[in-house]
Amino acid sequence: MEKADWMAGWTMSNAIRLHWDSVLLFNHKSYSSSLALSILSMEEIAKAHLLEDIIFNAAVYEWDARTSWRYIKNMFFSHRKKQTFFADRLFPFYRRLKKGGGIKASPFVRMAQSGRLEKYKQESLYVGLSRPTFINSRIRSPHKIPRSKPLRMITLVNDYLLDLSVGNIGGYYHIDSEYITKMLNRRFIRQLKKEWNLRGRIGTNALQKFNSFAAG
């Protein structure tokens, strides 16, 4: 499973690179490209975790690489499924009971499942039409992407990386890849705080936990 561990580490490193590039482009007011890279960062984070599943299944269930690959490959090559995988990990407990029973996913999970997140990515990269027919459709352009969209996505990715890193240090998240474990350290947390100062609830809670570790 050394190959899976090595690839998981490189994939998470690439996700982090995409995140920093997205922040850089946002700061230079290139909002459309920033949005696309932020969503790509989500996909790479999901891919890194899928590779972790190979490591886990080999250790716990003694699956060989071929069996594990069959298990994850459908998600591995689907943009929408990777986006949904990321969204579901970000908001795993944000589910409310429906009136008739069952569960209702968070709005962000539903956005990924429906394909709207993938649509955002495509619209941030390509000029296109609002409808399949040419005559009655409006022109869509990446130049029209508002600042608010990449702002939200970057904050979600930054919050997720903060929470994952603090959980790794605090021992309440188990990371199956040795390479990823080494990456998510205190120095990285300080960098996440410095380079992006906006926080959602997840990021705020993570930093409160991190500060309590430092105080203890």
**pLDDT score for 106:** 84
Q: Taking residues 172-185, report their average pLDDT.
A: 95
**pLDDT score for 205:** 96
Structural domain contains residue 215: no
Structural domain span for residue 137: 2-207
Residues 126 and 142: beta-carbon distance below 8 Å: yes
Structural domain contains residue 162: yes
Total domains present in the chain: 1
Q: pLDDT tens for residues 148-158?
A: 999 999 999 99
The closest of 76, 71, 64 to 7, measured between CA atoms, is: 76
Structural domain contains residue 86: yes
Structural domain contains residue 216: no
Reduced to 3 states, what is the DSSP secondary structure of residue 68?
helix
What gap in Å lies between CA 55 and CA 57, rounded to an integer? 6
Q: How far is CA 38 from the centre of its chain?
A: 8
Q: Which amino acid is at 86?
A: F
Structural domain contains residue 130: yes
- Average pLDDT, rounded, for the chain: 90
Q: What's the number of CA atoms in the CB half-sphere (13 Å) around residue 180?
A: 32
pLDDT class of 183 with cuts at 50, 70, 90: very high
What gap in Å lies between CA 37 and CA 7, rounded to an integer? 20
107-116, 126-135, 153-162: the lowest-pLDDT one = 126-135
What gap in Å lies between CA 91 and CA 87, rounded to an integer? 6
Residues 44 and 11: beta-carbon distance below 8 Å: yes
Reduced to 3 states, what is the DSSP secondary structure of residue 137?
coil
List residues bridging with 96 in a β-sheet.
104
Residues 202 and 163: beta-carbon distance below 8 Å: yes
**pLDDT score for 98:** 53
| Strand ranges inside 47-198, DSSP E | 96-97, 103-104, 128-129, 139-140
**pLDDT score for 131:** 79
Structural domain contains residue 212: no
What gap in Å lies between CA 22 and CA 149, rounded to an integer? 12
Structural domain contains residue 190: yes
Residues 49 and 82: beta-carbon distance below 8 Å: no
Higher-pLDDT residue of 165, 66: 165
Structural domain contains residue 44: yes
Strand bridging mode 128-129 / 96-97: unpaired
